[in-house]
Structure 1
Amino acid sequence: MKKAILTLLLVVNFNLLFSQEANSVYDEKLAKSLNADDHGMKQYVFCILKTGSYTTATAEEKSNLFKGHMANITRLAQEGKLVLAGPFMKNDRNYRGLYIFNVSTIEEAKTLVATDPAVKANLLEAELTLWYGSAALQETLKIHEKIAKNKF
């Protein structure tokens, strides 16, 4: 009985392995174009935006800074330097939003963060760390443009 079960498990595992290889959709050209490693991953810089020290801005100042903030996000995304950005919902940690930069060093990300008017004015503060994630994130903007009915 044990031999029968072992044989069955071996056959099932062999069939699963074979079917996965036969159904593989690996695209070497795409992987290389995205600088993906063998796991389809790559290094990015993850940024958490927090409430900054400039807390006395007028409503008009905030509005203008956030217009510049959104324009900067759009520019960085179009340049391929920013693969993901978005706000956090209300929370007790003063987290305002996040960026995932398509760069491999903190220094490169600091240069990009410095172009954000809301960060420059200290309305937002950036916390940066290296992050390892799917290289496919770089394709997000192409998909998002197809599903966003209204633009910011």
Structure 2
Amino acid sequence: MNSLKVYVFTLVVLFAIQLTAQKTNPNYNSELAKELDADAYGMKMYTLVLLHSGKNTDTTETRSLAFASNMKNINRLVENEKLVVAGPVGENDSDLRGIFILSTTNLDEAKSLLKNDAAIQQNYLSAQYFPYYGSATLPNYLKAHDLIWKEKP
């Protein structure tokens, strides 16, 4: 009976070691994690902005100018490392037009970053702001993307 207890104890210890081993990353790079301000899970907080169709349905040149300004604002935010992800979404029933993920965790700062965007100012787009928890590596995708686009939108 003693050998059965030792056997069971050994199995429990081995199982516990296996569980611990699965929870640690052998590829963990502490310098990169620190540089990216990552938490223990490799994540960090951002601001997610959902862009919906606004109430302004004007289709004149004013609209074109507002969306040209929107693109300039996007490029400025990228240059200032404030915009992490941006893009349109496909057709949907929610009038959702696109998303931004901003590097700031402060919703007031996020609103301030977009307050001069003509498409939002002139109500061609409306913006909703949410705290977002995502991979700390998100900003790195922009560097890779800059190497693969052929035509600037």
> 1:24 corresponds to which letter in structure 2?
P
Q: Which residue of 2 aligns with 1:47?
A: 49
Q: Following TM superposition, by how much is the alpha carbon of 1:8 offset from its aligned partner in structure 2, in angstroms? A: 7.6
The structure with more helix, counted as a fraction of residues: 1
1:72-125 C-alpha deviation (Å, 9 max, x unpaired): 111101211010000011212111100001001110100011121111111100
The Cα RMSD (Å) is 2.5
Q: Which residue of 2 aligns with 1:149?
A: 150
Provide structure 1 residue ranges, at least 5 long, that are not aligned to the other structure: none
Q: Which residue of 1 aligns with 2:29?
A: 27
> 2:70 corresponds to which letter in structure 1?
H
Q: Following TM superposition, by how much is the alpha carbon of 1:10 offset from its aligned partner in structure 2, in angstroms? A: 6.8
- Within 5 Å, which residues of 2 pair with 1:85-100? 85-100=86-101
Q: Which residue of 2 aligns with 1:130?
A: 131
Alignment partners' CA distance in 2, 1:106 and 1:19:
36
Alignment partners' CA distance in 1, 2:71 and 2:12:
55
> 1:141 corresponds to which letter in structure 2?
L
Alignment partners' CA distance in 2, 1:53 and 1:100:
23
Q: TM-score, normalised by structure 1?
A: 0.84
Provide structure 2 residue ranges, at least 5 long, that are not aligned to the other structure: 1-5
Alignment partners' CA distance in 2, 1:36 and 1:100:
16
More deviation, 113-122/101-110: 113-122
Tell me: CA distance 1:143–1:6, structure 2 relative to 1, closer, same or farther (3 Å). farther
Alignment partners' CA distance in 2, 1:120 and 1:20:
47
Please give the secondary structure, in 2, of the residue aligned with 1:76: helix
Between the aligned residues of both structures, percent identity stands at: 39
Please give the secondary structure, in 2, of the residue aligned with 1:148: coil
State the number of aligned residues.
Answer: 150
